[in-house]
A and B are shown apart, each in its own frame.
Chain A
Amino acid sequence: TQLLEQSPQFLSIQEGENLTVYCNSSSVFSSLQWYRQEPGEGPVLLVTVVTGGEVKKLKRLTFQFGDARKDSSLHITAAQPGDTGLYLCAGVISAGGTSYGKLTFGQGTILTVHP
């Protein structure tokens, strides 16, 4: 059972389309991060959100942390082929359990943007 569920697992769209990737959990997170990973490389941190309801923008990417700090979303506007990659959310559980304090990753969303 994954602590962080990402959806969709696969996304194939045309250049110019908008998309949203979701990251959900039943646990509360003290912080949540989004990474992007390209084939043959390690993940690269895009953003960290720490406050419930927080919204951060990075050019065409908009990240939102849920009010209850249990979920997050990544929205890409006007996707480009260069956005192709694996998008991972990762969070630190705020209290209790064996995963407390650790950075736990979701399974990831594989995004393909066709020219």
Chain B
Amino acid sequence: DAGVIQSPRHEVTEMGQEVTLRCKPISGHNSLFWYRQTMMRGLELLIYFNNNVPIDDSGMPEDRFSAKMPNASFSTLKIQPSEPRDSAVYFCASSSTSGYTDTQYFGPGTRLTVL
């Protein structure tokens, strides 16, 4: 069975460029989470969708970050313009139920480097 799929696995870009990260959740899952992981701040929740609707985006750092979920099988996280401090590993996770406490299945992550 396919797990959560993220692309690209690695992204290197220059400051000021637009970056789009992609996620395909596990089929049938109705909750999707975007996280960011850094050495300094650990793993932080950015945004949570349930049934394609953003439920909690309070973790999105600033207006440069935006996330969409146009359908149940696809989500994007966009950073425009990107800055060096955005460098991190971005994870997408999905869950078969609503809420935060049920088992979340994480993708392999996208390692973003902004020069």
**Chains A and B belong together in one complex:** yes
Q: Which of B42, B58, B91 contacts A98 (CB 8 A)?
A: B58
B100 near A107 with CB under 8 A, answer: no
**Residues of A within 8 A of B (CB-CB), count:** 23
Chain B residues within CB distance 8 Å of chain A: 4, 42-45, 56, 58-59, 91, 93, 100-101, 103-104, 106-109
How many residue pairs bridge A and B at CB < 8 Å? 47
Is the beta-carbon distance between A48 and B42 smaller than 8 angstroms? no
A85 to chain B minimum Cβ distance, whole angstroms, is 13
Segment from A17-25, A38-46, A54-62, A75-83 that makes contact with B: A38-46
Q: Are B103 and A42 in contact, CB atoms less than 8 angstroms apart?
A: no
**Cα distance A98–B107 when bound, in Å?**
27
Tell whether, in the assembled complex, residue A48 and residue B43 are in contact, meaning their CB atoms are under 8 Å apart: no
A33 touches B101 (CB 8 A): yes
Q: Does A103 contact B (CB under 8 A)?
A: yes
Given A40-B108, A41-B109, A108-B42; A102-B56 close (CB under 8 Å): yes
Which residues of B have CB within 8 Å of A103?
Answer: 45, 100-101, 104
Instruction: Please state if A107 and B106 are interface contacts (CB–CB under 8 Å).
Output: no
